[in-house]
Amino acid sequence: MLRAVIAVAACAQVTIAFSPLGAAPSLRRANAPALSAQGKQRSGLKLGNKKSALRAVVESAAAPAKEKKMGRGVLKARPIGVGHAAPQSKITNSDMEKIVETTGEWIQTRTGIENRYALKGKETLRDIAIAAGKAAIADAGIKAEDIDLVIVATSSPDDMFGDAPSVASGIGVPKTAFAFDLTAACSGFLFATVTASQFLNNGGHKTALVVGADALTRWVDWSDRNTCVLFGDGAGAMVLTSTETADEGGILGFEMHSDGNGYCNLQLPYQQADRAVGPEHHVLEGDYEPISMNGKEVYKFATREVPDVIEEALANAGLTTADVDHLLLHQANIRIMEIVAQRLGIPMEKVIHNLEEYGNTSAGSIPLALSEAVASGRIKKGDVIACAGFGAGLSWGSTVMRWG
Ligand code: UT7
């Protein structure tokens, strides 16, 4: 008997047992918490306070050293250029005060965010992905024709069939290349970087463009203050080239994880309903519902898992936190960055952040911050950058890169 597991809201899993001869499927529901709890959970706990940060440091000090894992160390791939783009339309925290019951002070102190940008008019996600890609190619000093692989990491494509081929064509990448989308929410850019680097490491491809682009302002509920103040639209892109030897490689180590048991804590779910088509048949039809997030749980998950995964990636690279010149985390919350940095014993001066200006741009956030830091001269050739992404899935991962 065939089985398909389909996900419905709130981590419930409905297992449909399909009869091979088309008998009516029977539904079996497991562990379904109340749907109404989504994105609404409250707690008086002050995360990020001194006590919890101290506890985190103590826990971290007691944690065993990570083992180096075979095949997750240096790859023969080197980042050589980066670029970014964001829409024109800026939404400030004062603007948010006119949209939902919030204050600029709350948003700034609880998240670090001051502004975000949103697509407007005829702007599309492809537009900013293409602009970021072109900027990265110019920064790398190569031509679009040199690219033979394009991965667009996004959870909010213009076209559900995938934006990567049209982004590649819009940039001028020839059809000798292949392009595809990769969806891993806010971890997407790093998952895509590792994926592209594997192709380069294998020697079959020479130059890859990895784009992280999202437009989550399309998918937030603008009446939900828990989420709408957080997200903005933006894109970043990075060019990687294959290297002859591992010694020249710039992807020094990586580690990636996912845990679908926590998927209900952050989702953009498809909701379907029965629709009759013709006299005899029914299909399931629907649409995506706005983002719902249990912020507290995602916060706890991020502060628990991100230090660990960075240590794992560093161990795979044969490095320690002392070797890290820059810590670059997904730009979700400045308090998460503070706790992660503290747990790793990395001073805040080494933490790159620009969420003040862009908010959380999901897959766009890491390359967007990387691009600004390279453009400003803060990141220099040879610098070691420990990056980590985390978010829906739940998914999380870290890549340690040597720049340039
Ligand atoms: O990109 C994917 C990864 N995402 C993340 O990493 C997000 C992780 N989570 C967070 O960053 C934080 O949990 C949030 C920023 C989302 C929320 O911060 P928090 O300190 O966890 O706040 P909370 O959800 O516990 O809410 C505290 C209070 C609540 O009021 P009561 O129940 O204490 O009266 C909320 O209703 O703050 C209230 N609140 C707001 N107040 C003003 C929630 N959102 C707002 C708001 N303005 N925008």
118 and 21 fall within a common domain? no
Our answer to whether residue 316 is catalytic in this structure is no
Average pLDDT, the chain: 89
Tell how far the Cα of 295 is from the centroid of ligand 1, in angstroms. Answer: 6
Mutate to test the pocket of ligand 1, among 91, 93, 110, 216 (most ligand atoms within 8 A of CB): 110
Q: Give me the pLDDT at residue 26, please.
A: 43
363 Cβ inside 6 Å of ligand 1: no
User: pLDDT digit string (tens) for 68-85?
Assistant: 999 999 999 999 999 999
Q: State the average pLDDT over residues 181-197.
A: 98
Q: What is the domain range of residue 17?
A: 1-33
Catalytic residue among 11, 186, 228, 264: 186
- At 140, give phi and psi (nearest 5°): -75, -15
Q: Is residue 280, in this structure, part of any structural domain at all? A: no
pLDDT confidence of residue 42: 30
Ligand 1, atom nearest to 46 Cα: 20
Ligand 1 centroid to residue 202 C-alpha, Å? 44
The string over 160-194, giving b where at least 16 C-beta atoms fall within 10 Å of a residue's C-beta and e elsewhere, is eebbbbbbbbbbebeeebebebbbbbbbbbbbbbb
- pLDDT of residue 36 exceeding 50, the answer is no
Question: Does 75 lie in the same domain as 25?
Answer: no
Confidence check: pLDDT of 90 > 80: yes
- Give the DSSP H/E element, type plus range, for residue 385: strand 384-391
The verdict on residue 66 lying in a domain is no
Ligand 1 pocket residue status of 155, Cβ below 6 Å:
no
Give the pLDDT mean for 107-125.
Answer: 98
Percent of the chain at pLDDT exceeding 90: 84
Distance 262 CA to ligand 1 centre (A): 18
The whole-angstrom separation of Cα 360 and Cα 358 is 6
- pLDDT greater than 60 at residue 10: no
Q: Is residue 332 in contact with ligand 1, taking CB distance under 6 Å?
A: yes
* pLDDT tens track for 308-362: 999 999 999 999 999 999 999 999 999 999 999 999 999 999 999 999 999 999 9
- Answer yes or no: is the C-beta of 333 below 6 A from any ligand 1 atom: yes
Which atom of ligand 1 has the smallest separation from the CA of 362?
Answer: 1
Report whether residue 52 contacts ligand 1, using a CB cutoff of 6 Å: no
132 Cα–ligand 1 center, Å: 31
Using the predicted structure, report yes or no on whether residue 288 has a pLDDT greater than 80: yes
21 and 116 in a single domain? The answer is no
In this prediction, residue 25 carries a pLDDT of 40
Instruction: Report helix, strand or coil for 369.
Output: helix
Model's pTM, two decimal places? Answer: 0.88
Residue owning the nearest CA to atom 42 of ligand 1: 102
Q: What is the pLDDT of residue 13?
A: 56
- At 394, the pLDDT band (50, 70, 90 cuts) reads very high
Please determine, for residue 202, whether its predicted confidence score (pLDDT) is greater than 60: yes
Nearest protein Cα to ligand 1, atom 31? 42
59 inside domain = no
Using the mean position of ligand 1's atoms as its centre, give its distance from the Cα of residue 39 in Å: 9
Number of structural domains, the chain?
Answer: 2
Query: What is the pLDDT averaged over residues 212-240?
Result: 98
Please tell me the total number of residues recorded for the chain in this structure.
Answer: 404
Q: What is the pLDDT of residue 50?
A: 46
pLDDT for 393 equals 96
- Judgement on whether residues 167 and 303 belong to the same structural domain of the protein: yes
In 187-232, which ranges are E strands? 207-215
- Residue 84 falls inside a structural domain: yes
> φ and ψ at 253, to 5 degrees?
-175, 155
- Pairing mode of beta strands 13-18, 2-7: antiparallel
17 plus 85 within the same structural domain:
no
pLDDT (average), residues 199-218: 97
The reply to whether 330 belongs to the active site is yes
Q: Does 14 share its domain with 161?
A: no
Give 266-284 pLDDT, tens digit per residue: 999 999 999 999 999 999 9
pLDDT of residue 64: 76
Give the pLDDT mean for 276-293: 96
Residue 39: is its pLDDT beyond 50? no
- Under DSSP, the state recorded for 270 is E
> Do 102 and 153 share a domain, yes or no?
yes
